[in-house]
Structure 1
Amino acid sequence: MAGNPIDGFEVDPATVGFIGEGLQRPECILAERDGSLWSADARGGVVHIRPDGSQHLVTQQLDERFSANADEAERFTTGTLPNGLAFDRDGSFLVSNFGTDRLERMTREGQTAVLADTLDGKPIGKVNFVLRDSKGRVWLTISTRIVNWMQAISPNLADGYVAVFDEQGLRVVADGFRFTNEIRFDAAEEWLYVVETTGRRITRLRIDDRCEVTARETFGPDDTGGFIDGIAFDSHGNLWGTHVMSDRIFAITPEGDFRVILDDDNPAPSKVLYDAFARDAVTPDLMLACGGKLAPWFASVTFGGPDLRTVYIGSLRGTRIPFFRSPVAGLPMSHW
Structure 2
Amino acid sequence: MMCKNLLFALLILISFNGFAQNISLSEKAKVSILTCGLGPESYAMYGHTGIRIQDSLNNLDVVYNYGAFDFSTPNFIGRFIKGDLQYFVTYGSFIDFYYNYQVENREIIEQELNLTPLQINSLYQQLNYAVYSDERFYTYKFIDRNCTTMVVDKINKIIGQEYIKSDQTNLSYREILYPYMSDFYMKLGIQLIFGAKVDEPATRLFLPYEFKNALSKTQVNGNKIEKSDSKILQVTQSEIPFNWLNSIYSLLLVLITLVLLNKKWIKISYFIFAGVLGLFFSLVGLYSLHEEILWNYNILLFNPLLLIFAWYYKKKNFQKTLFLGKISLAMLLVYLAYMTTKIHLQIVWPFIVLHFYWIGKIVLQIKKSKLARG
TM range (shorter): under 0.3
Larger CA Rg, structure 1 vs 2: 2
Higher strand share: 1
Higher-helix-fraction structure: 2
Give the structure-2-normalised TM-score.
Answer: 0.23
TM-score w.r.t. structure 1 length?
0.25
